[in-house]
Amino acid sequence: MNNWSRREFVRIATVGAGAGIAGCNALSPSGSIKTDSETGRTSQKPARSFEPISGRVLDIEGGEITDAKLKAIVPGRGSVAETTTDEQGQFEVVEVDGPIWLRATKTNFIGRTVAVAPGTSSRIRLSPREGTVALSFGGDVMFGRRFYEDDHPLEPHFQIRPDDRMESHQTILQYISPLLQDADITSVNLETPLTTTAWRHPSKRYHFVSHPDAAPALAEAGVDYVALGNNHTLDALTPGLDETLQALSAAGIERSGAGKSNTEAWEPTYFERRGLTIGLVSCTTVTGDQYDIDWAADDNQSETYSVSGDDVTGIPDTEQLTFSGRVGVAAATRDRISRTVSEVDANADVTVVQIHGGSEYQQEPTDRIRRLTETAKTAGADVVVNHHPHVAGGVELQDETLIAWTLGNLVFDQEFWSTFPSYLLTVHVTADGIPRAYVDPLLIEGYVPKGVVDKPRTWQLRETAALSSDEFSLDHDRLEYIAKDEITTRTEPRTLDGDTIYTRNSGWVNRVIEGAESVELGRDLLPTGTFDDPDIDDERHEGPLWRFGRGDDSNGPEFGYDGSGGIQLSRTADNTERSVLTTAARVPLAGSTTLLGQYRHETDTRLELLVRWYESTSGSALDSVLIDLDRTTGWESLERSLSTPEEATHVRFYFRLYPPADGEKRVANFDNIQLVEWTDSATSGGKDYNYLRVHESSTIEFTSSSQSDEAISWEALD
């Protein structure tokens, strides 16, 4: 494939003997944009601002819900529009200028808040209220460290203001508070003490310490419970733990997983909601055994620890801290999990176990986490939620137990690419089991969690679906389990001609039946490369997860080839440095890649693409390649095949525009940047692959499974 001179929409139907790949719509080389060859100007589609949002509100069986209330919510502005459904359950929300949270409510139903974009249609299903409790689970939370460091002009992040910490914490959480407030009980893993003490664990390299103002901010945002069974609860030693417990209690937030003794650390927390008793247990496998002072609570521990002020920054030399080894967090063992969960199961209608452990930055659970999860399930756990890896993993239904393998981050200051995507898991529980569970994708932007629409939402749903069990059906805008639903499965084999790349609209490649050696499957590694307006906040087209010089003339719909978002680099003769567009962090990868996109560069100023490969998230480059980008007449397609060095695990690329020698300002525009990583073998498919490259004729089985009548559709780029 040398250019995008033609686009075909591939529809794989499943009804009728003649169904197959058909339909060819010839467009201009740039897709939906036509270039005036004389002026070089582009005829752009208008931005989607103020396009209405429509849809339907249905019950769990798919019946229409009349007079349901719809409220459009923008963080920082509150409700911006309201309406109700008609007799067919349909609604329309107008006067919305960007992505919003859309909350649907109806008496005798559990409310549902979804992320939606202007100009789209949404199908919202409400669960019956009677006898059902909604539980929501978020990942790792901390408000320290880099939250207090200076901002970076090219890579902005949220700063907590020491002179107004309460408002700062509220601002961080406001973008997802409409989602957190839906559930009857919302839980997060609080991976930090909330304290003002200067005491720190003397041996640990990383200390996560946050201000007590985080507790009332969490409560206001909708958090009811925090898991303390993790490896950072004792970072500020016993003064930090004491202040944490006091701050949580004052804010009305329940907790478990840590205490002054092993018995207290393992003590469950119980909630009474909607006639049900919910019991929650928290523990961790990461207990600091390698240090002289570990943080596991142990009733048999008679040792007394003593820490000198000489070892801790900010503590007077004369001060000494002494505390018992009995204090700490609940240390996860199969025996203790079995005994505690069995006890909770006997006293509660619903038992929830949270286990903190596994390998950091790995989506798949370790064998130990699998064994402990199985122990909890066997002992009677209805829901098992795991965290610690800081990346989002899959969800499974095993027998009658709902399992989340890793929730990733919710509020965190990490700067690794894989830690930015996340989700909130919601589980509906009754005395008889789990009738429903679903995932709401989030994006950590500048350490702050936000809801997402369009490509980042679809990207996260597909990533999670690939790691999840088949009970969770995947549509283009939802990943959900509903016990009463019969999932519609479509499977269709098709023979495709060679020398073509296909991109996915819906459905996925299940397997390659014939010609596997001629087929490669690909994943786009860049969820925000369209430069649209993907997240729910009061900003527009801010280019999340990208690093570039931000200004009035750098990003927005006027700079994209399709009118919905783009990035513009600009330089004048007065500039001494190059203008750069790059990702916010190194992107992890394992195979060869193809860089795709559109760019516009109509001057003779030098524009180049620099690609660097690395062996880790830090350190110097392993290898690099420098590519000059030609001058264009209007928008042109970009396609570069990149061979990944064998030792490389990460990549980062840089578009660089040089200052002109003289004359007027020079610019270069970019849009729809995609970095497609290809598999070596494509015998079996996967729900997370959104590209398909066929070198020679091959027979491929496409599949979809959803709760709606969603067709299988892939788009061929010829």
Residues 423-441: pLDDT tens digits? 999 999 999 999 999 999 9
Average pLDDT of the residues in 551-560? 91
Q: d(Cα 95, Cα 81) in Å, to the nearest integer? A: 7
**Confidence (pLDDT) at 476:** 77
Average pLDDT of the residues in 455-469? 96
Asked if residue 53 lies in contact with residue 93, where contact means CB atoms within 8 angstroms, the answer is: yes
Nearest to 703 by CA among 489, 512, 505: 489
* 401, 461: one domain: yes
**Confidence (pLDDT) at 154:** 80
Q: Which residues, in sequence order, are CB contacts of 17 under 8 Å at separation 6+?
A: none
**Confidence (pLDDT) at 316:** 67
The three-class DSSP label of residue 93 is strand
**Confidence (pLDDT) at 47:** 43
Asked if residue 651 lies in contact with residue 562, where contact means CB atoms within 8 angstroms, the answer is: no
**Confidence (pLDDT) at 717:** 80
pLDDT of 185-229, one tens digit each? 999 999 999 999 999 999 999 999 999 999 999 999 999 999 999
Query: What is the identity of the amino acid at 142?
Result: M
**Confidence (pLDDT) at 247:** 98
Q: Which of 55-69, 174-188, 548-562 has the lowest mean pLDDT?
A: 548-562
| Residue 623 in this model has a pLDDT that exceeds 50 | yes
* 618, 577: one domain: yes
Structural domain contains residue 48:
no
Confidence of residue 27 (pLDDT cuts 50, 70, 90): very low
Among residues 419, 448, 482, the one where a domain terminates is: 482
The three-class DSSP label of residue 42 is strand
pLDDT of 513-522, one tens digit each? 998 888 999 9
| Residue 20 in this model has a pLDDT that exceeds 60 | no
* Residue ranges in 199-308 assigned as alpha helix (H): 214-221, 237-251, 262-265
**Confidence (pLDDT) at 125:** 96
Among residues 455, 482, 509, the one where a domain terminates is: 482
Average pLDDT of the residues in 305-329? 81
Q: Which two tokens stand for residue 317?
A: 């030399």
Confidence of residue 3 (pLDDT cuts 50, 70, 90): very low
**Confidence (pLDDT) at 30:** 26
**Confidence (pLDDT) at 31:** 28
Asked if residue 200 lies in contact with residue 241, where contact means CB atoms within 8 angstroms, the answer is: no
Confidence of residue 23 (pLDDT cuts 50, 70, 90): very low
Query: What is the identity of the amino acid at 528?
Result: T
**Confidence (pLDDT) at 299:** 74
pLDDT of 663-693, one tens digit each? 899 999 999 999 999 987 666 778 999 999 9
**Confidence (pLDDT) at 485:** 74
Asked if residue 696 lies in contact with residue 514, where contact means CB atoms within 8 angstroms, the answer is: no
Structural domain contains residue 489:
no
Confidence of residue 48 (pLDDT cuts 50, 70, 90): very low
Structural domain contains residue 644:
yes
Q: d(Cα 151, Cα 153) in Å, to the nearest integer? A: 7
Residues pairing with 140 in the sheet: 189, 409
* 477, 557: one domain: no
Confidence of residue 32 (pLDDT cuts 50, 70, 90): very low
* Residue ranges in 165-213 assigned as alpha helix (H): 165-174, 177-180
Q: In the 8-state DSSP scheme, what is residue 160?
A: -
Q: How far is CA 269 from the centre of its chain?
A: 28
**Confidence (pLDDT) at 12:** 34
**Confidence (pLDDT) at 325:** 87
Higher pLDDT, 318 or 9: 318
| Residue 16 in this model has a pLDDT that exceeds 70 | no
Residue linked to tokens 């980062």: 652
Q: Which residues, in sequence order, are CB contacts of 26 under 8 Å at separation 6+?
A: 6, 7
Q: Which residues, in sequence order, are CB contacts of 448 under 8 Å at separation 6+?
A: 157, 158, 172, 175, 411
Cα 588 to Cα 310, 417, 528: the distances in Å are: 41, 7, 15
| Residue 540 in this model has a pLDDT that exceeds 80 | yes
Confidence of residue 544 (pLDDT cuts 50, 70, 90): very high
Calculate what percentage of the chain has a pLDDT beyond 90.
Answer: 77
Structural domain contains residue 685:
yes
* 274, 412: one domain: yes
* 393, 520: one domain: no
Structural domain contains residue 494:
no
| Residue 331 in this model has a pLDDT that exceeds 90 | yes
* 457, 548: one domain: no
| Residue 361 in this model has a pLDDT that exceeds 70 | yes
Cα 594 to Cα 530, 656, 677, 679: the distances in Å are: 16, 19, 7, 12
Q: In 10 A of CB 227, how many CB atoms?
A: 33
Confidence of residue 565 (pLDDT cuts 50, 70, 90): very high
Structural domain contains residue 36:
no
Using only C-alpha atoms, the chain has a radius of gyration, in whole angstroms, of 26
* 413, 516: one domain: no
Q: Which two tokens stand for residue 25?
A: 């719509």
Average pLDDT of the residues in 636-648? 95
Confidence of residue 551 (pLDDT cuts 50, 70, 90): confident
Cα 69 to Cα 60, 107, 126, 470, 623: the distances in Å are: 17, 10, 12, 32, 56
**Confidence (pLDDT) at 578:** 96
Residues pairing with 442 in the sheet: 422, 451
The CATH number given to whatever domain includes residue 344 is: 3.60.21.10
Q: d(Cα 90, Cα 68) in Å, to the nearest integer? A: 9
Task: Give just the sign of the alpha carbon dihedral 19, 21, 26, 32.
Answer: positive
What rounded mean pLDDT belongs to the chain?
Answer: 89
| Residue 246 in this model has a pLDDT that exceeds 70 | yes
* 20, 88: one domain: no
* 530, 454: one domain: no
Range among 27-36, 44-53, 87-96 rated most confident = 87-96
| Residue 33 in this model has a pLDDT that exceeds 70 | no
Confidence of residue 562 (pLDDT cuts 50, 70, 90): confident
**Confidence (pLDDT) at 163:** 92
Asked if residue 412 lies in contact with residue 361, where contact means CB atoms within 8 angstroms, the answer is: no
Q: Which two tokens stand for residue 701?
A: 């089985």
pLDDT of 102-155, one tens digit each? 999 999 999 999 999 999 999 999 999 999 999 999 999 999 999 999 888 787
Structural domain contains residue 45:
no
* 651, 555: one domain: yes
Higher pLDDT, 709 or 293: 293
pLDDT of 290-299, one tens digit each? 999 999 998 7
Asked if residue 338 lies in contact with residue 379, where contact means CB atoms within 8 angstroms, the answer is: yes
**Confidence (pLDDT) at 708:** 64
Q: Which residues, in sequence order, are CB contacts of 392 under 8 Å at separation 6+?
A: 139, 363, 406, 407, 408, 421, 422, 423, 460, 463, 464
Average pLDDT of the residues in 350-358? 98
| Residue 28 in this model has a pLDDT that exceeds 60 | no
| Residue 373 in this model has a pLDDT that exceeds 70 | yes
Task: Give just the sign of the alpha carbon dihedral 377, 379, 381, 385.
Answer: negative
The CATH number given to whatever domain includes residue 550 is: 2.60.120.260
* 325, 371: one domain: yes
Among residues 85, 102, 126, the one where a domain terminates is: 126
Structural domain contains residue 46:
no
Calculate what percentage of the chain has a pLDDT beyond 70.
Answer: 91
Residue 314's domain comprises: 133-482
Q: Which of 124-128, 206-210, 313-317, 460-464 has the lowest mean pLDDT?
A: 313-317
| Count of domains for the chain | 3
Confidence of residue 41 (pLDDT cuts 50, 70, 90): very low
* 426, 566: one domain: no
